Amino acid sequence: MTIDQDFRPFCALTIAGSDSGGGAGIQADLKTFAAHRVHGLSAIAALTAQHTRGVTAVHVPDTGFLRAQIDACFDDFRIGAVKLGMLANAEVIHAVADALEHYRPAHIVLDPVMVATSGARLLEPEALDALRNRLMPLASLITPNLPEAELLLGHRVADGAAMQSASAELLGAGARAVLLKGGHLEDGGDVVDLLADGDDHGSIESIRHPRLAIDAHGTGCTLASAVAAGLALGRPLSQACIDASDYVHRALRGGYRPGRGDVVVLDHF
């Protein structure tokens, strides 16, 4: 028997929160990386105790230990892309921004995680400025859903036309590219995500899928880590976003209920 020990140069790092229920956060990110055949690294910025009925506790380790995890990853691996998820508070955001300014990875995908679908707060409201001022300018792409875009911009984004202008406004606010997710728009139509690319003169591209009547957990984490995996594999940004959106759509179709709550988690198998 031969053992396959080939060198895999493709690594991606997630800096995010852990979900004990395995549906979102670091756990979803690592499953997504594996499904893309990308070696997954993780630095755990926060721990959540949660199941399919909600978040029961949150613990934020000290930022010195978070930095040690990030340093260990950059010390040894060739990291093609970094995905940022739940960062909990401003102190964590500053620690992550310091580390990323030091290591300058080629691609950073920022999922500006703020509130879970269940309603649990995953970022302190006072940390919004730090996210906007420190991390947005470092990111190659930010992936807000509509409630997150509204918090970042400070106004409502109520329909498709408002989404177009909101994605342009987010570029104006310092993002290099924006994948604005339309899943929360309840207009009965397809789900349309908009990719606005500041490096391509602010061009806006629509990524469309039929709406599935599934209320799933971990879709945002999975989309952002699938984009990071695509970038680590060398795909151009637009292709990485289209592929990631397809990946989430397929994973939703195979979604299942692993616990006693109604929550559906994505199928990465």
Question: In angstroms, what is the minimal distance from the CB of 81 to ligand PLP?
Answer: 17
Q: In this chain, which residue has its C-beta nearest to ligand PLP?
A: 25
Closer CB to ligand PLP, 122 or 170, in the complex: 122
**Closer residue to ligand PLP in complex, CB, 16/141:** 16
Q: CA 54 → CA 30, 48, 79, distances in Å?
A: 21, 10, 33
Q: Which tokens is 209 given?
A: 């899928």
To ligand PLP, the closest distance from the beta carbon of 1 in angstroms equals 39
| Residue 185 or 221 with smaller CB distance to ligand PLP | 221
Q: Where are the beta strands (DSSP E) in 76-131?
A: 79-84, 108-110
SS3 234: coil
Residues near 26 by Cβ (< 8 Å), separated by ≥ 6?
14, 16, 17, 18, 19, 42, 44, 85
Task: Give me the residues that bind ligand PLP (CB under 6 A), please.
Answer: 16-17, 19, 24-25, 48, 85-86, 113, 116-117, 122, 217-221
Say if residues 51 and 23 touch (Cβ distance below 8 Å): no
Burial of 258 by CB count in 10 Å (0-12 exposed, 13-18 middle, 19+ buried)? middle
Q: CB of residue 111 vs ligand PLP: minimum separation in angstroms?
A: 6
Q: How far is the CB of 26 from ligand PLP (least distance, A)?
A: 7
In degrees and rounded to multiples of 5, residue 130 shows phi and psi of -65, -40
Nearer to ligand PLP, 179 or 198 (CB): 179
CB closer to ligand PLP, 167 vs 219: 219
Least spacing, CB of residue 14 vs ligand PLP, in Å: 10
